[in-house]
Amino acid sequence: MTSRQIRLALRAYGVGGPGQHNLWKDPRVPKNASIDIDWYIAQAKAAEHALFDALFIVDSQFIDATYPPHYLNRLEPLTLLSAVATHTRHIGLVGTLSSTYNSPFNVARRFASLDHISHGRAGWNVVTSFDTGTSRNYGLDEHLDYATRYGRALEHVQVVRGLWDSYEDDAFPAAGDVFLDPSKLHALNHAGEHFRVDGPLNLSRSPQGQPVIFQAGVSEEGRNLAAHVAEGIYAPGGTLEATREYYADIKRRAAALGRDPDHVVIFLGAQPVVAGTDEEALRLSREIFEADNDFGRKLGQFGRAFGAHDFSQYDLDAPFPDVAHLAEKSGRTRGTEIIRRATSEGLTLRETVLAFTRYQPSPFTGAPDTVAATIAAWFEAGAFDGLNVGFRTHEDLSRFVADVVPLLQKQGLFRTGYEHDTLRGHLGLPIPANRWSVAS
Amino acid sequence: MTSRQIRLALRAYGVGGPGQHNLWKDPRVPKNASIDIDWYIAQAKAAEHALFDALFIVDSQFIDATYPPHYLNRLEPLTLLSAVATHTRHIGLVGTLSSTYNSPFNVARRFASLDHISHGRAGWNVVTSFDTGTSRNYGLDEHLDYATRYGRALEHVQVVRGLWDSYEDDAFPAAGDVFLDPSKLHALNHAGEHFRVDGPLNLSRSPQGQPVIFQAGVSEEGRNLAAHVAEGIYAPGGTLEATREYYADIKRRAAALGRDPDHVVIFLGAQPVVAGTDEEALRLSREIFEADNDFGRKLGQFGRAFGAHDFSQYDLDAPFPDVAHLAEKSGRTRGTEIIRRATSEGLTLRETVLAFTRYQPSPFTGAPDTVAATIAAWFEAGAFDGLNVGFRTHEDLSRFVADVVPLLQKQGLFRTGYEHDTLRGHLGLPIPANRWSVAS
Ligand SMILES: Cc1cc2nc3c(=O)[nH]c(=O)nc-3n(C[C@H](O)[C@H](O)[C@H](O)COP(=O)(O)O)c2cc1C
Ligand SMILES: Cc1cc2nc3c(=O)[nH]c(=O)nc-3n(C[C@H](O)[C@H](O)[C@H](O)COP(=O)(O)O)c2cc1C
């Protein structure tokens, strides 16, 4: 048995991550990077060359003109990943798709198709949608409340998994006169609180049995969903203490439900900043922050946690406004924390925005050996199973791969070759038995 | 000005088309062809090498064990086409997607993404879904009736087109401090009978402005939809007389609505059978029919036009059962025709099934010069603008390309090189002006 190793996912850049609002000004980045498929293929290939577990694509479905550049113009995740699939052979392909604004049959088909096209490398990052405005792009006046969103999410995943098992693995003998053995094709006939889906799905299972279920969302409801169905988690970064607590909490919840905690692989979001020396890296990190330190923009983005609420209507120097009724919207966790702190510390709106957007270097900032040592220490301390790393440019990824990854490999903390062809294989996840196949 | 030329689309085989129920037995076809992305990429490359206008992917979202092999296990069209896109450079990529069981925002995003990934080669074949059982995969007891399905389809296309215009073409100066010119981003704020969609879409326009709208469906309502919004049509094959009538009818309807009839490009479905001599081709065609001439299978498939109705419950030798109430389901046109004929000729169920599944060689069956001459004659007679050709194997496609296409080229009826990089370019369709851009 090999000892526990770190997992690495690449959160494709050009999309997502802090400090990217002015990335389009960087001469090394094409101005249309976020819609340039070659830009993504190049990242996927670089990450695969570096033996990463997965490429990770986040998503959003609502914008207005205040949104950061990479949100404004972005490719739909599955369309993107399908194009990437045929240019790679090992790396996992995880796409974010909202369970709130998609139908299970469609989601099941699309991920199962990606799973076939990639020969077993697909993963679905289940989110309930952060941007409340999405509801108005899908015929609803209001974003669904937490209970409904997460209730729907759990049932959604269960239905999708049911559809993925429509065919038993030996359903197609394709011999003699028998193409399909009809006894091995199963309708689902699901009728639940949120969905009625009869099935069967018109797709067989892939080499990994079912795409891997990821989840992102940290509320009580989000953790509960994760404990029930997530096999991978995209968790937000934070202090060592906070991330260890989160990690232990999720593993505990999964175990309490009778699941093997090793089968919930927790990826921490990280934006490493690597340079020749620690000082240089910190200077670089500060520079990136300062270049993008525009209060007006921050105020615009600040509203996202409260359902794209327009905070420019308030006096910046008056006490933080009463927006408690909006904190249940996009993300209760963050909204509640903002309100709690503003209230308990008696902050003005301006002070609150500054407090929550202040300079906070990534814990993985420094010379290569510093960054490698910090990663190793956090890993050993139980803060994560893997990192979901994002970078500003190809060069930053290359530097991380060339200088940091080998130090992790030297300590036996990262693979030195792919041992598997599927995402499940990389993550040490079992192939789910088909629910219809009886052990004989 | 070049004279009018024939368009050619390849209806990807392994999926769809008559005479394919036992194709899996052909040693030249991989048993999993319908889910093998390399199989599709190879077809797309061959068709592009032959200067075809488009690769065409049909779709369905309901199966049971009686369905033909290529329906049972198939890739979702957009996922498929996105993978094909980066392996081709000129050929158009047309995917079938149901307006009945998809949301406009999602459809707009996915096709716009494919349009960017392919640099302007995407087309959406709008269908209202043939298989009535699809409704039960999307939470509905019953397939929507014709009026609702087609009303929804028209509004759906209008919303999707509105979303595709969210950004004016010069919305992103990406110069100085200005990434986006916010005055060039437009919400749609659509509120209609079937949809409420605020927008804007989070994607800019591609080199062809908007993906091309195709349509397939021949009822009064279907023709009406086509006349309003279709820029391409996938029309069923038939006699020369019937196809000419259909062609003239569609062009007339489009003109009556003030549209240029040349901007509705009609592709006729065709399954050419080419061999050394006419006799050989006819023998081959008959062979293909006989090899698949199983009455039980035909009876199973016969029910599809009546909402997957199970006809095995009736006495085969009694008069054709009264299923008039089911003829409005999947496709009224075919259902009504079956009933009319069975009634007027006093046919039994068995006789009716045989009448509608009898041997009918493709009009494009014969030696290369026969097939080329027939294609030319039908084209000149106004039966079609293009053919949507399907073949059983790569070899059959190769033969058509090697032996028939050059004869069309020699007559000036088919291009000898690509003159454009976009699907609109190939089809002679204008780039739709962005609705927000005011002529200055
Ligand atoms: C690390 C992380 C990444 C997320 N990524 C996305 C995303 O890409 N798209 C999205 O709509 N929501 C995303 N979410 C938001 C969740 O789906 C969820 O809607 C939101 O966080 C509110 O739920 P919560 O309070 O449970 O976190 C993410 C959440 C977290 C914590
Ligand atoms: C040539 C042709 C191709 C079609 N292809 C599809 C298809 O791929 N998927 C689908 O669901 N329906 C397809 N349809 C069906 C139409 O969407 C429509 O639902 C059905 O034909 C009933 O409408 P109609 O009476 O207007 O033809 C096709 C129809 C025609 C005529």
Domain ranges of chain A: 7-278+364-439, 294-356
CA angle A69, A363, A327 (to 5 degrees): 55
> Which residues of chain A are within 8 Å of residue B117 when distances are taken between CB atoms?
37, 75, 79-80, 83
Structure tokens at A84: 């990437």
pLDDT tens, position by position, B213-231: 999 999 999 999 999 999 9
Number of residues written out for chain B: 440
Local confidence band at A439 (pLDDT 50, 70, 90 cut-offs) = low
Contact across the interface for B86 and A82, Cβ inside 8 Å: no
Report the pLDDT value the prediction gives residue A18, as an integer from 0 to 100: 46
Which of A128, A157, A219, A337 should be mutated for ligand 1, with most atoms under 8 A from CB?
A: A128
Q: How far is the CA of B197 from the centre of ligand 2 (A)?
A: 26
Shortest distance, CA A129 to any CA of chain B (angstroms): 14
Shortest distance, CA B194 to any CA of chain A (angstroms): 9
pLDDT tens, position by position, A130-176: 888 999 999 998 888 888 999 999 999 999 999 999 999 999 998 88
Which of A130, A215, A224, A330 should be mutated for ligand 1, with most atoms under 8 A from CB?
A: A130
Partner residue facing B35 (CB), from A61, A133, A204: A204
Range of weakest confidence among A44-53, A119-128, A255-264, A309-318: A309-318
Amino acid, res. B229: V
For the CA of A131, the nearest atom of ligand 1: 11
Please state, as a whole number, how many other Cβ atoms lie within 10 Å of the Cβ of residue B258. 6
Range of weakest confidence among A51-60, A307-316, B103-112, B258-267: A307-316
Report the pLDDT value the prediction gives residue B2, as an integer from 0 to 100: 54
Interface test with B, best of A31, A75, A131 (most B CBs within 10 A): A75
- Chain A, 170 to 229: residues with Cβ < 8 Å from chain B are 172, 174, 179-180, 182, 185, 187, 195-200, 202-204
Scanning A331-367, the segments in alpha helix (DSSP H) are 332-344, 349-356
d(CA B270, CA B8): 10
Contact across the interface for A105 and B195, Cβ inside 8 Å: no
The answer to whether residue A360 scores a pLDDT higher than 50 is yes
Structure tokens at A104: 């299970």
- Closest CA in chain B for residue A163: B137
Number of residues written out for chain A: 440
Interface test with A, best of B31, B131, B179, B188 (most A CBs within 10 A): B179
A58: three-class secondary structure by DSSP: coil
pLDDT tens, position by position, A197-209: 999 999 999 999 9
**For residue B237, which ligand has an atom nearest its CA?**
2
Please state, as a whole number, how many other Cβ atoms lie within 10 Å of the Cβ of residue A100. 22
d(CA A60, CA A16): 10
B31 close contact with A: CB closer than 8 A? yes
Interface test with B, best of A66, A102, A117, A163 (most B CBs within 10 A): A117
Phi first, then psi, for residue B30 (nearest 5°) are -60, 140
For the CA of B61, the nearest atom of ligand 2: 11
> Which residues of chain A are within 8 Å of residue B62 when distances are taken between CB atoms?
202
E strand or H helix at B114: helix B104-117
Please name the residue whose Cα sits nearest to atom 8 of ligand 2. B58
Report the pLDDT value the prediction gives residue A379, as an integer from 0 to 100: 98
d(CA A340, CA A212): 36
Partner residue facing A79 (CB), from B32, B60, B113: B113
Per-chain mean pLDDT for chain B: 93
Partner residue facing A73 (CB), from B74, B76, B204: B204
The answer to whether residue B88 scores a pLDDT higher than 90 is yes
E strand or H helix at A408: helix A405-410
Contact across the interface for B73 and A24, Cβ inside 8 Å: no
Local confidence band at B177 (pLDDT 50, 70, 90 cut-offs) = confident
C-alpha distances (whole Å) from B68 to each of A180, B80, B309 are: 10, 20, 16
For the CA of B388, the nearest atom of ligand 2: 1
Q: Is the dihedral of CA A20, A25, A27, A32 positive or negative?
A: positive
> Which residues share a beta bridge with B93?
B55, B122
> Which residues share a beta bridge with A97?
A126
Which of B11, B57, B130, B156 should be mutated for ligand 2, with most atoms under 8 A from CB?
A: B130
Structure tokens at A226: 């994760």
> Which residues of chain B are within 8 Å of residue A24 when distances are taken between CB atoms?
174, 179
Contact across the interface for A79 and B110, Cβ inside 8 Å: yes
- B31, A172 Cβ separation under 8 angstroms: yes
- B104, B156 Cβ separation under 8 angstroms: yes
Per-chain mean pLDDT for chain A: 93
- A392, A287 Cβ separation under 8 angstroms: no
Amino acid, res. A380: E
Nearest Cα to A235, choosing from A330, A146, A372, A125? Answer: A125
The answer to whether residue A1 scores a pLDDT higher than 80 is no
Burial of B434 (0-12, 13-18, 19+ CB in 10 A): buried
Report the pLDDT value the prediction gives residue B304, as an integer from 0 to 100: 82
Range of weakest confidence among A284-288, A323-327, A345-349, B279-283: A323-327
Which of B56, B60, B127 should be mutated for ligand 2, with most atoms under 8 A from CB?
A: B127
In the block, tokens 């990463």 appear at A52
Report the pLDDT value the prediction gives residue B439, as an integer from 0 to 100: 55
d(CA A246, CA A383): 8
Structure tokens at B304: 């599809």
Report the pLDDT value the prediction gives residue A248, as an integer from 0 to 100: 98
Shortest distance, CA B229 to any CA of chain A (angstroms): 22
pLDDT, average across residues B174-180: 88
Range of weakest confidence among B18-32, B84-98, B296-310: B18-32
> Which residues of chain A are within 8 Å of residue B114 when distances are taken between CB atoms?
79
Sorted by sequence, the CB contacts under 8 Å of residue A137 that are 6+ apart come out as A61, A62, A101, B105, B197, B198, B199
Specify the pTM.
0.96
Q: Using a pLDDT cut of 70, give the percent of chain A over it.
A: 97
CA angle B61, B89, B16 (to 5 degrees): 25
B362, HSE (Cβ side, Cα atoms, 13 Å): 30
**For residue A143, which ligand has an atom nearest its CA?**
1
d(CA A50, CA B394): 37
Burial of B361 (0-12, 13-18, 19+ CB in 10 A): middle
Range of weakest confidence among A96-100, B65-69, B166-170, B220-224: B65-69
The per-residue b/e assignment along B264-273, b for 16 or more CB within 10 angstroms, e otherwise, is bbbbbbbbbb
Contact across the interface for A136 and B185, Cβ inside 8 Å: no
The answer to whether residue B440 scores a pLDDT higher than 60 is no
Q: How far is the CA of A225 from the centre of ligand 1 (A)?
A: 13
Burial of B335 (0-12, 13-18, 19+ CB in 10 A): buried
Beta strand pairing status for A365-366 and A54-57? unpaired
d(CA A298, CA A303): 9
A129 close contact with B: CB closer than 8 A? no
Report the pLDDT value the prediction gives residue A430, as an integer from 0 to 100: 97
Shortest distance, CA A47 to any CA of chain B (angstroms): 19
Contact across the interface for B202 and A174, Cβ inside 8 Å: no
Report the pLDDT value the prediction gives residue A27, as an integer from 0 to 100: 85
pLDDT, average across residues B273-292: 94
Q: Is the dihedral of CA B252, B254, B258, B264 positive or negative?
A: negative
ipTM score assigned to the predicted complex? 0.96
The answer to whether residue B16 scores a pLDDT higher than 60 is no
Report the pLDDT value the prediction gives residue A14, as an integer from 0 to 100: 63
The answer to whether residue A389 scores a pLDDT higher than 50 is yes
d(CA B390, CA B236): 12
B138: three-class secondary structure by DSSP: coil
In the block, tokens 């804007």 appear at B200
Amino acid, res. A373: A
In the block, tokens 């996922």 appear at B79
B80 close contact with A: CB closer than 8 A? yes
Burial of B380 (0-12, 13-18, 19+ CB in 10 A): exposed
Pocket of ligand 2 (CB under 6 A): B 58-60, 96, 98, 127-130, 216-219, 221-222, 234-236, 269, 331-333
The per-residue b/e assignment along B363-378, b for 16 or more CB within 10 angstroms, e otherwise, is bbbbbbebbbbbbbeb
**For residue B233, which ligand has an atom nearest its CA?**
2
The answer to whether residue B361 scores a pLDDT higher than 90 is yes
Please name the residue whose Cα sits nearest to atom 9 of ligand 1. A59
Phi first, then psi, for residue B365 (nearest 5°) are -115, 130
Report the pLDDT value the prediction gives residue A107, as an integer from 0 to 100: 98
The answer to whether residue A47 scores a pLDDT higher than 60 is yes
pLDDT, average across residues A319-331: 83
CA angle B211, B237, B272 (to 5 degrees): 95
Shortest distance, CA B115 to any CA of chain A (angstroms): 10
The answer to whether residue B205 scores a pLDDT higher than 80 is yes
Report the pLDDT value the prediction gives residue B7, as an integer from 0 to 100: 98
pLDDT, average across residues A330-354: 89
pLDDT, average across residues B38-46: 96
Structure tokens at B409: 């080229």
The answer to whether residue A440 scores a pLDDT higher than 50 is no
The answer to whether residue B247 scores a pLDDT higher than 60 is yes
As its CATH architecture, domain A7-278+364-439 has Alpha-Beta Barrel (3.20)
Nearest Cα to A18, choosing from A235, A293, A279? Answer: A293
The per-residue b/e assignment along B296-310, b for 16 or more CB within 10 angstroms, e otherwise, is eebbbbbbbbbbbbe
Nearest Cα to A288, choosing from A371, A365, A367, A368? Answer: A365
B311 close contact with A: CB closer than 8 A? no
d(CA B20, CA A388): 46
Sorted by sequence, the CB contacts under 8 Å of residue B347 that are 6+ apart come out as B319, B320, B341, B355
Report the pLDDT value the prediction gives residue B18, as an integer from 0 to 100: 46
Partner residue facing A61 (CB), from B82, B180, B202: B202
Which of A127, A154, A249 should be mutated for ligand 1, with most atoms under 8 A from CB?
A: A127
Q: Using a pLDDT cut of 90, give the percent of chain B over it.
A: 78
Report the pLDDT value the prediction gives residue B170, as an integer from 0 to 100: 95
Report the pLDDT value the prediction gives residue B1, as an integer from 0 to 100: 40
Report the pLDDT value the prediction gives residue A15, as an integer from 0 to 100: 55
Pocket of ligand 1 (CB under 6 A): A 58-60, 96, 98, 127-130, 216-219, 221-222, 234-236, 269, 331-333
d(CA A231, CA A260): 10
